[in-house]
Chain A
Amino acid sequence: MFRLARFLKHYKLQSLFGPLFKLTEAVFELLVPVVMAKMIDIGVKNNDKAYIYHSGIILVVLGILGLTASLTAQYFAARASTGFGTELRNALFKHINTLSFKEVDKFGTPSLVTRLTNDCDQVQTGVNMILRLFLRSPFIVVGAVIMGLTISVRLTLIFLIAAPVLALIIFAIIKKTIVLYKTTQKKLDRASSITRENLTGARAIRAFSRQQDEINDFEQNSNELYINQLIAGKISALMNPFTYIVVNLAIIAIIWYGGKNVYTGSITQGEVIALVNYMNQILLALVALANLIVIITKAQASAVRVNEVFDTKTTISDGRGVDPKATDIAVEFKNVTFSYYSSSDDALENISFKVKKGETVGIIGATGSGKSTLVNLIPRFYDVSSRQVIVNGENVKDYTLSSLRKRIGIVPQKAVLFKGTIRDNMRWRDKSATDEQIKKALSISQSLDFVKEKRGCLDYKILQGGKNLSGGQRQRLTIARALVGEPEILILDDSSSALDLATDAHLRKAISHETDNMTVFIVSQRISSVRNADKILVLDDGILAGVGTHNELADSCEVYKEICRSQNVETEKGGDVNGK
C-alpha cells in the first residue's frame, strides 16, 4: 500500500498536517484527566472555588482547542485522501489504456473494472483512515501510559499488563472473525449465484419442472449461511465481554493498589481517578485501532490488486513512425507465427498470404482455428511471435499505433456500443464525420431504416451497452461505426452472427458495391458469407489449409469441402444453391 503513497505527492502538506493536528487533539484529550485530578486534589481539598472554576475553564478551552485541531485534521485528511483517490484512478485508467490486448486478456476486463472502481475506493478510504486515526490510537495508548508514569511508576505497571492483554484479545477476535466472515460471504455469494441462475434459467427450470429441487438447494445454502453467521456472530460477540472484564479487573487493581499508595501518601485521590480515566481511554483507543485494522486490511488487499495492474507493462507500444509506401499490396503476412503465451501452442503457424488493395478476403474455419487471431494481428492488437505482418509496404511494428489503426475499421465479434447518441457512436473513427457520411455508413450497414424509425434519428440516445437496441441492430451499428470515415481496410470479425441470412446478404452486397477501394476481411463460420470473396483463407487449427476462390477451394481443399458439406452447400459444380 505504501508503494501507492506516490499519489499523495501533490498533497504533502495536507498529509502531514492531517496526522499532526490529530496528534494535537490527542494531547489535549490526554491532558483532561490530569486537570480534573488537580481540580479534585487542590480545588476540592483546599475548598478553593476559584481554582475549580479556573480548572473548569481550562477544561472547556482544552475542549475547544481539541475540536479545532480535530476539524482541521479532518479537513486535511479529506482533501488529501480524495486527491489521492482521484490521482490514483486517473493514473490507473491511463495505464489500463496503454495495455495491449494481451495484458487485458490476462486480467479480464471485469476484473479491471473492479480494480478501477471498488479497489480504488477501498484504498482511498484506507488512506483517509490512516491519515486520521492510524497515529492517533497508538499515540493515545502510549500517551496514557506516559501520563500514568508521571503519576505513579508502580501503578502504571497495571497499564503495561492490561494494555497488551486488551490488544491481544481484540486482535485475536478480529483476526478470527475476518476469516469467519469470509466463509459467510462465500455462502452469500452462492445464494446470489443460485438466484441469478434461476432468473436466467427460469424457462429451462420450469420446462423440466425442477422448481422444488431448486428451492431445496437454495434452502440448504440458506441454512449453511445461517449456521456460519451464527458461528461468526458468536466469536465476534466475545469482544465486548472480554474487554469489559479486563478493563474492570484493571480498575479494581488501580483502586486497590492506588488505595495502598494513597495510604502511604505517594499519590492522591484525584490521581487515582485520573488513572481510572486513562484506563478507559486506552480501551477506546484500542477498539478504534482494531476497527481501523479491518479497514486497512481491506485497503491493503485492494492496493495489491491495484499494484498488479501498475506492474503490468504493455508489450505493444508505438513504432518509430513510418509513412506507408506506395504499393498495391494492402496487407501481407510473411511466415507469421503467433502464440498467446510463450508457453502455449502456436495459435497461428507459418501463415503467408498477400492481399491487394480493394480485394475482399473471406476467412473461414472452425471455432478456435485462429480466424479472429489472424485479423487481430493486422491492427497490431497482438504482436507476432516471429516474422512480420506488413500493411501498405511497412511492418506494422514501425507505424505509430494510432496511424496504423486509423487506417483500419474493425467490427469486433461482440457488438459493443457506448452510451450517447447514435451520432456520437458513429463518430468514433472520425470525430468530424458529417451527418451525410454517417448516413451513408448506416445505409451500407443496413441500419438506416431502423435508425430513421428511432425518435430523433441520429440523436437517438443509446443506453449503456446498447440495451435499448436489439442484438441485430447493435451489430449493424457497429459495422456502420467502422465504415464512417472510409477506412482503407475493413475487418468484419464474425460480425453478422446476430443477423438473419437475408440482412446478412444485403449487407455484403452493399459493402462490395459501395466500397470499391476498401480492402475487406470477412471472418465467418458461414460459407454463404465468404463464398463471393475474391480470396478465401481456410484456417484449420492455426494452419492455412487453403487459399483461393470458392470454386477453387471447393475443388481442392478438403477442409473447405467438409465445411461446405456441413452447411449443405453444393460443392461439386460450385454453383448456386437453390433449395432443391
Chain B
Amino acid sequence: MENKKLSAAPLKSVLLYAKPYIAYLVLGLVFAVISVSLTLYAPILTGRGIDLIIEKGRVDFDALSPILIKLGIIAGIVALTQWLMSLCTNKVTYLTIRDIRNDAFKRLEHLPLRYIDSNPHGDILSRMISDMEQISDGLIMGFAQLFTGLVTIIGTLGFMLSVNVKITLIVVVITPLSLFVARFISKNTFLLFKDRSVTRGELTSVVEEMTGEQKTVAAFCHEQDAYDSFAEINERLRKISARAIFFSSLTNPSTRFINGLVYSFVGIFGAVSVISGSGFTVGQLSCFLTYANQYTKPFNEISGVITELQSAIACAKRVFELIDEPEEISDKDNAVLDDCKGNVKISDVSFSYTPDIPLIDDLNLDVKQGQRIAIVGPTGCGKTTIINLLMRFYDVTEGCVSVEGKDIRELTRNSLRSHYGMVLQETWLKSGTIYENIAYSKPDATREEVIAAAKAAHADSFIRRLPEGYDTVISDDGSNISAGQKQLLCIARVMLMVPPMLILDEATSSIDTMTEIRIQRAFAKLIKGRTSFIVAHRLSTIVESDCILVMDKGHIIEQGTHEQLLAKKGFYYELYMSQFCND
C-alpha cells in the first residue's frame, strides 16, 4: 500500500502530459462504455431468440426476426465503437509518449556534461527507449484496459442481476477464485522469472565475452574452458526456465478450469431453476452461460494489467528522473562574445569532479592571441579536464576563465563555443553523409565552402575516391572510412568555421603514414595565427609551444617553456628523456 502511495507521483506526471489530449481520452471512454454495454446486451437478445425456439412446431418466427435484426444492428454498433475506442486511446497514448520522449531528449541536450559523463549511456538510452515503450504499453493502454475491464464487470453484474439474482450470486462467488489463483501463480512465477533473468544475464555476459571475443579465445586455445563455463550456466538456466515456464503456463488452464466450474454450476442451478418454474427460461440460461464464459476474462485481464501498470510506473519514475534532472545553469543575459581575437586568461582556477578529490588547484595561465599551449603528460593524466574548463563543459569550482577579459560564465555558451574549433582524438561523426558532417559546424555553408574546407584539410582527395564522393553515407559503425580519415573530416569541419581559438588532440596511434602526414599538414595550417591548446604527443609540437602544461594524475605539476622545463630537471625532463631519447 505504501508502495503505491510512493509511486503515484510518476503516474501524475504522465497524466499531466496526457492532459492536452484529454478530449480523446474522454471520447475513448465514452465509446468503451457504449461498446461494452452493447456487447453485454447481445447475449440477452440471443437468449430471447432461443426462448422463441422451443421445440417441434413451437417456434415464433414473427417475434424472432426483429430480435435477430436488432442483434445484427447491435453487432454493427459494437464493432464501430470498439474501433473508434481503439483509435482514441491509441491517439492519446502515442501523442503523450511522443511529447514525453521529445521533452526527455530536449532535456538531454541541456543537461550538464557531468550527468552524461557520470551515467552509463546504456542506462540513459534504456530510459529514453524501452522505459518509454513500457509506459505506453503499460500505463496508458493499461488504463484503457482497466477501464473497459471494470465497465465489463459492473455491466455484466448489472445485466445478470436484472435477469436472475440467485444465479448471479453463484457467478459472483466463484469467479473471484480465478483471480486469486492467477495472483497466486503470478506471485510465485515472478520470483522464478526473476531468478531466470539473473541466470540468463549470466549466460549472456559469458556469451558476450567468449563469443564476442572468439578470436582471443581461439588464440589461447581456451575453447573447452569457455564451453564448460557456458554449459554449466546453460544447464542451470534449463532447470530454472523449465520451472518458470511450467509455473507460468499454469495460469491459463487453472483459470479455464474455474471458468468451467462457474459454467457447470450455472448450468446445474439454471436448469433446476427452469424446472422449478420460477420464470427462468432456457434462453436466459443460455445468456447466463455466455456471461459465465465472459465474466472471468476481465478479472484476468485486470490482474495482468496491474502487473504491467506496476512495472510501467517504475519505468515512468526512471523517465521522469531524467526529465526532472536539473539543467545546466542557464546563460546569463545573453551576453554575446564578439570580436574575439583569442586572448584567454585562466586566473586562480581550482576544479575537481568530486568535492573530496581536488584536481586542479590555483592554476594561472595567460594566453595571448596566436600563442600555442601544449598539454603533455602520461596516458590518463587528465588532459581532457583542461578542455572541459576552456569549453565550459564544466564550470570551475573557484577562480575564473576569461576570454578577451570577459568571464566565460558571463557569456552565452553558444557564443563562447563558436569561437573554438575542437578536434578530439575520439572522433565523433554523425550518421549521415560526409558532406553533412563537414557542414555540421556551419549549417548554412554553401557546397563550395564545404569542398574548400575539405581541400584545406587535405581530405578532398580521399573523399573523391569514395563511391559516392561527398554524398557517401558514413556507416553506423564508421567502418567504411579509417580512423585517420575520420580525423581529417573533423579537421575539415573546423576549417569551415574559421574560429580564432583551437583545441586539438593529437592522435597517438593507428593512423597510416600518408594520412598522418596529411593530418599534420592540416593541423599546421589550422594552428597558424590562432590561439591553440594542443594535447600533444609529437616532440615538434611540444618544443615549438609558447607554454607547456605538464600534467600527471589529474594535476598540473609543471608549467613553462621547453627550455625552462628542461632546466628544471623535473617531471618534464624525465618524461622527455624517456620518451624521445632512445637509449
B254 at the A interface (CB under 8 A) = yes
| B109 CB–A CB distance under 8 Å | yes
Among B121-129, B153-161, B302-310, B351-359, the stretch in contact with A: B121-129
Mask: chain B, 63-107; 1 = CB below 8 Å from A; 0 = not: 011001001101110111011001100110011011001100110
- Interface size, B (range): 35 or more
Interface contact A113-B211, CB-CB below 8 Å: yes
- The chain A residue sitting closest to B391, CB to CB, is A207
**How many angstroms from the CA of A111 to the CA of B213 in the assembled complex?**
12
Q: With A112-B211, A199-B124, A368-B512 in contact, do A269 and B54 touch (Cβ < 8 Å)?
A: yes
Interface residues of A in 369-393 (CB under 8 A from B): 369, 379, 381
A60-B261, A67-B254, A209-B418 are contacts. A579–B90 as well, Cβ < 8 Å? Answer: no
Q: How many A-B residue pairs have CB under 8 A?
A: 444
Interface of B is mostly: helix
CA distance A381 to B94 in the complex (A): 51
Contact of B90 among A195, A211, A219, A229 (CB under 8 A): A229
Separation of A245 and B79 alpha carbons in the complex (Å): 7
Q: Find out whether the CB atom of B424 lies under 8 angstroms from the CB atom of A36.
A: no
Which A residue's beta carbon lies closest to that of B497?
A208
Chain A residues contacting B413 (CB-CB under 8 Å) are: 206, 209
B256 within 8 A of A: yes
- Determine the chain A residues whose CB is within 8 A of the CB of B223 once the complex forms: 97-98
Among A89, A204, A214, A419: residue with most chain B CB under 10 A: A204
**Do residues A52 and B275 form an inter-chain contact, with CB atoms below 8 A?**
yes
Closest chain-B Cβ to A173's Cβ sits at a distance in Å of: 12
Kindly identify, within residues 146 to 203 of chain B, every residue whose CB is under 8 Å from any CB belonging to chain A.
Answer: 203
Pick from A32, A97, A419, A567: contact of B214, CB under 8 Å: A97
Residue pair A53, B268 in contact (C-beta under 8 Å): yes
**Cβ contact within 8 Å between A506 and B257:** no
| Contacts A97-B226, A209-B417 given; does A502 touch B579 at CB 8 Å | yes
Q: Is the CB of B293 within 8 A of A464?
A: no
| Complex partner residue of A74 from B205, B231, B250, CB under 8 angstroms | B250
B216→A416 contact, CB < 8 A: yes
Asked whether B538 is an interface residue with its Cβ less than 8 Å from the other chain, the reply is yes
Smallest beta-carbon distance B71→chain A, Å: 6
Interface-central residue, B268, B393, B493, B537, by most chain A CB under 10 Å: B268
- Scoring A81, A225, A367, A418 by chain B CB atoms within 10 A of each residue's CB, the highest score goes to A367
On whether the beta carbons of A191 and B430 are closer than 8 Å, the reply is no
Contact of B580 among A272, A369, A579 (CB under 8 A): A579
Report the Cα distance A509→B582, complex, angstroms.
10
Residues of the B chain whose Cβ atoms lie less than 8 Å from the Cβ of A25: 253
Partner of B204, one of A117, A567, A578: A117
CA distance A503 to B578 in the complex (A): 8
Q: Does A268 reach chain B (CB closer than 8 Å)?
A: yes
Given known pairs A402-B221, A502-B575, A568-B540, the reply for A276 and B286 (CB within 8 Å) is: yes
Query: Which residue of A197, A405, A470, A497 is within 8 Å of B509 (Cβ)?
Result: A497
Does A576 count as interface, using CB distance less than 8 angstroms? yes
With A64-B257, A116-B211, A505-B582: A258-B53 Cβ-Cβ less than 8 Å: yes
Among B101, B205, B237, B268, contact of A56 (Cβ-Cβ < 8 Å): B268
Asked if A196 and B237 make an inter-chain contact with CB atoms under 8 angstroms apart, the answer reads no
- Name the one of B108, B210, B264, B511 contacting A198, with C-beta atoms under 8 angstroms: B108
- 0/1 string, B266-302, CB within 8 A of A gives 1: 0110011011000000100110011001000000000
Given A43-B271, A74-B246, A230-B94, A109 and B211 contact (CB-CB distance below 8 Å): yes
Whether A419 pairs with B237 at a CB distance below 8 angstroms is no
Interface residues on A, range: 35 or more
Shortest CB–CB separation between residue B109 and chain A, in angstroms?
A: 4
Instruction: Say whether B476 faces chain A, with CB atoms less than 8 Å apart.
Output: yes
Q: How far is the CB of B294 from chain A (nearest CB, A)?
A: 10
Say yes or no: A464-B253 contact (C-beta < 8 A), given A195-B128, A197-B431, A222-B102: no
- SS class, residues of chain A in contact with chain B: helix
Whether B430 and A500, one on each chain, are in contact in the complex, defined by CB atoms closer than 8 angstroms, is no
Which A residues, 23 to 73, have Cβ-Cβ distances below 8 Å to chain B? 25, 32, 36, 39-40, 43-45, 47, 49, 52-53, 55-56, 59-60, 62-64, 66-67, 70-71
A86 close to B246 (CB less than 8 A):
no
Q: Which of A43, A226, A525 contacts B512 (CB 8 A)?
A: A525
Q: Using known A-B contacts A219-B102, A222-B98, determine if residue A211 contacts B110 with beta carbons closer than 8 Å.
A: yes
User: What mask results when residues 512 to 527 of chain B are scored 1 for a CB within 8 Å of chain A, else 0?
Assistant: 1111110010000000
Q: Are B101 and A191 in contact (CB under 8 A)?
A: yes
Chain A residues within an 8 Å CB radius of B97? 226
Contact indicator B578/A506 (Cβ below 8 Å): yes
A101 adjacent to chain B (CB < 8 Å): yes
B-chain residues with CB within 8 Å of residue A556 when the two chains form the complex:
none
> Measured between C-beta atoms, what is the minimum distance from A230 to chain B in Å?
6
A204-B422, A259-B53, A464-B208 given; A244·B59 CB < 8 A? no
A545–B487 Cα distance when bound, in Å, is 28
B453-500 contacts to A (CB < 8 Å): 476, 482-484, 493, 497
Chain B residue numbers with a CB within 8 Å of A367 are: 482-484, 510-512, 515
Given contacts A464-B205, A579-B539, contact A70 B510 (CB under 8 A): no
B42, B204, B214, B578: most-surrounded residue (chain A CB, <10 A): B214
When chains A and B are docked, how far (Å) is the Cα of A230 from the Cα of B234? 41
Beta-carbon contact of A203 and B125 below 8 Å: no
**Residues of chain A in range 55-110 having any CB-CB distance to chain B below 8 Å:** 55-56, 59-60, 62-64, 66-67, 70-71, 74-75, 77-79, 81-83, 85-86, 89-90, 93-94, 96-101, 104, 109-110
Is B116 part of the binding interface, using a Cβ–Cβ cutoff of 8 Å? yes
Residue numbers in B under 8 Å from A198 (CB-CB): 105, 108-109
Q: Which residues of the partner chain B approach A502 to less than 8 Å between Cβ atoms? A: 378, 575, 578-579
Q: Smallest CB-CB separation from B69: which chain A residue?
A: A252
> Min CB distance, B561 to chain A, in Å?
13
Give every chain A residue within 8 A of B204 (Cβ-Cβ): 117
What residues of B have a CB within 8 angstroms of the CB of A86 in the complex?
A: 234-235, 237-238
A304 touches B (CB below 8 Å): no
Cβ 8 A contact of B516, one of A207, A406, A566: A566
**Residue of A with least CB distance to B222:** A428
Q: Is A161 an interface residue (CB 8 A)?
A: no
A244-B78, A268-B55 known; A501 and B94 CB under 8 Å?
A: no
Q: How far is the CA of A473 from the CA of B71 in the complex (A)?
A: 77
- Residues of chain B lying within 8 A (CB to CB) of residue A66: 253, 256-257, 260
A–B pairs, 30, beta carbons within 8 Å = A36-B289, A43-B275, A60-B261, A82-B245, A97-B214, A100-B218, A104-B215, A109-B212, A117-B204, A192-B129, A197-B431, A198-B109, A211-B109, A215-B109, A229-B90, A237-B87, A237-B90, A244-B39, A248-B71, A252-B72, A262-B54, A272-B50, A280-B293, A405-B219, A416-B216, A464-B209, A497-B508, A499-B379, A566-B513, A580-B543
17 other A-B residue contacts (CB within 8 Å) besides A55-B268, A263-B61, A576-B581? A56-B267, A74-B249, A79-B246, A85-B238, A199-B108, A203-B113, A203-B393, A204-B422, A208-B417, A212-B109, A230-B90, A234-B90, A237-B83, A249-B75, A256-B65, A258-B53, A276-B46
* Top 9 A-B pairs, shortest CB-CB distance: A265-B56, A237-B86, A497-B509, A241-B79, A367-B512, A63-B260, A366-B512, A56-B268, A248-B75
